[in-house]
Amino acid sequence: MTSRASRSGNGNPDAVGFEQHDHAACVRDGMAAAEARCAEEGLRFTSVRRKTLEILLQEHSALGAYEVLDRLREAGFGSQPPVAYRALEFLVSNGFVHKIEKLNAFIACTNPGTAHYPAFMICRSCDSVAETQSMPARGALGDAARAAGFLIERTVVEAEGLCPTCADKADT
């Protein structure tokens, strides 16, 4: 429905919330946090799952399942779709990774460990993605849900538009 540029390596690899950051550190921290949580809760943080999270932390932008699969294959893991999908499902359901529904793509969580309702800002020009929080209970959606008697369990909140950098470019 919308045109889609190749996703790999897109966007500013240094954009978390569209800001600079110490990338090596955030990969390390992300892995450490997952490691800790898995140990704590008795989850099996196997090598495929570990590698998958590492790939997403490295890339630091949304990757399609098949791009993840490519990188897994290169790393010597299985080459069939379920290999990637199973690892992704594990990571998503434990909050280490989020799925961007609008892009059918996955991105590493920027603050794992904290239970939260994630929200995303997606730049339609450079495909960079920034994670933030939403508060469904507050706001119009929460009001509607209460009024209707609807029980919110999970939310998908994604804003599409222009990141600061691309907005500036467009202004000229």
How would you classify the pairing of strands 118-123 and 105-108? unpaired
Name the one residue in this structure whose structure tokens are 């500013």. 12
Would you count residue 126 as binding a copy of itself (CB under 8 A)? no
Would you count residue 105 as binding a copy of itself (CB under 8 A)? no
**Binder of residue 24, out of DNA, a copy of itself, none (CB less than 5 to 8 A by kind):** none
Would you count residue 33 as binding DNA (CB under 7 A)? no
Tokens of 121: 């800002």
Query: 126: phi > 0 → left, psi -120 to 50 → alpha, else beta; which?
Result: alpha
Which residue in 30, 56, 60, 64 binds DNA (CB under 7 A)?
A: 64
Which residue in 25, 40, 41, 138 binds a copy of itself (CB under 8 A)?
A: 138
Would you count residue 51 as binding a copy of itself (CB under 8 A)? no
Asked if residue 30 lies in contact with residue 87, where contact means CB atoms within 8 angstroms, the answer is: no
Would you count residue 4 as binding DNA (CB under 7 A)? yes
Task: Find all residues with CB under 8 Å of 20, minimum gap 6, and list them.
Answer: 14
Give whole-number Cα distances, 137 to 72, 142, 150, 153, in Å: 39, 4, 11, 11
Residues that bind DNA (CB under 7 A): 1-4, 43-44, 46-49, 64-67, 77-83, 85-87, 89-90, 99, 104-105
Task: Give the interface with a copy of itself as residue ranges (CB under 8 A).
Answer: 1, 17-18, 85, 88-89, 92, 99, 101-102, 119, 121, 123-124, 130, 132-136, 138-141, 144-145, 148-164, 167
